[in-house]
Structure 1
Amino acid sequence: MTAQLDLNNLDLTDDPEVQNDVFLAAFNSGQGAIFDSLYREDSISNLSGTPLTGAARTEAITALLATKPELKSRVRSYYATADTSLIIVDYDLVITKEDGGKQRIQGKCTDVLVRGEDGKWVMAVDRPVAGSIEDL
């Protein structure tokens, strides 16, 4: 992360590198409510391995982040119109399994963001796809 971010006042800018920094800071905070605040209410997330929206998405995100996973990501591609953007990142995620062991998941994530009426970008679709999984 290149800048210090205020987790209580996150702003997804037009800059994909800053967007990535914001997502990483929110995710790695371990606070599901902070990360979930980057989503529209009707957003779809596949973060749990199943496409979820609404309360089910929020619950899955909160449960996952409570385990303090560690996420790294790098912007691979970025495309934008005035009110929609597509960001593709390579990610490296280390999670704690139910048995207490660690697991590394690496893959690509395709995110669609939309600009709201307030001018701020929010997540509409979050679709991580694992390429490799290994126990650590």
Structure 2
Amino acid sequence: MSTPITDPAQLPPAFEKAMNSGDLNAVLSLLAPGAVMRTVTGESVTGQALRDYTAGSIAGNAQLSNGPSRVVAGDDIAFITEEWTMEVTTPDGNRKKATGTTANVARRGQDGGWRMAVLNPLGTA
């Protein structure tokens, strides 16, 4: 990410664009240091495991579609929810589709840019 995202509502479309373009570094640039993600299987991943999980989605030609976002922001933290659909090809060659409602937390960094700190595609499920 060359220019920091200055509005947390811009994160979901930026994430969608980076994922759909297959650009792992662009996706990872949208994550705060120490970011954690709850995967669609319920496992929590961070660090190298989060990188590997994201790389696996990209390798499966993941195509993400986000609905309208709802953002509540204050000072340096924001809560973001949205409907999403993702299609990905699994290692066995089958195309799978998943849907859900996110419950994500973004954090503003020292550079003034917003990044995802907690990614929870399963929301409250």
Provide the TM-score with structure 2 as the length reference.
Answer: 0.87
**2:115 equivalent in structure 1:** 122
Give, in whole Å, the separation in 2 of the partners of 1:15 and 1:58.
Answer: 22
Letter in 1 for 2:107: V
Letter in 2 for 1:38: L
1:76 Cα offset (Å): 4.2
Counterpart pick for 2:28 among 32, 36, 40: 36
How many pairs align? 122
Displaced runs of 4 or more, over 2 A: 8-13
1:83 Cα offset (Å): 0.6
Change in CA separation of 1:15 and 1:122 when aligned onto 2, cut-off 3 Å: closer
Give, in whole Å, the separation in 2 of the partners of 1:31 and 1:37.
Answer: 10
Aligned to 1:100, the other structure's residue is in SS state coil
What is the percentage of aligned positions where both structures have the same residue? 25
Give, in whole Å, the separation in 2 of the partners of 1:11 and 1:29.
Answer: 19
Give, in whole Å, the separation in 2 of the partners of 1:54 and 1:14.
Answer: 25
Q: Is the 8 A contact 1:30 1:67 kept in 2?
A: no
Change in CA separation of 1:36 and 1:15 when aligned onto 2, cut-off 3 Å: closer
Is 1:75 matched with 2:68? yes
Change in CA separation of 1:129 and 1:12 when aligned onto 2, cut-off 3 Å: same
Unaligned runs of 5+ in 1: 1-7, 131-136
Letter in 2 for 1:51: S
1:19 Cα offset (Å): 2.3
1:91 Cα offset (Å): 0.3
CA RMSD, 1 decimal: 1.8
Worse-matched range after superposition: 44-53 or 34-43: 44-53
Worse-matched range after superposition: 45-54 or 71-80: 45-54
Worse-matched range after superposition: 26-35 or 45-54: 45-54
Give, in whole Å, the separation in 1 of the partners of 2:99 and 2:46.
Answer: 23
Is 1:56 matched with 2:49? yes
Change in CA separation of 1:104 and 1:59 when aligned onto 2, cut-off 3 Å: same
Unaligned runs of 5+ in 2: none
Aligned to 2:19, the other structure's residue is in SS state helix
Give, in whole Å, the separation in 2 of the partners of 1:11 and 1:20.
Answer: 14
Listed as ranges, the matches of 1:1-136 within 5 Å are: 8-9=1-2, 11-14=4-7, 16=9, 18-47=10-39, 49=41, 50-129=43-122
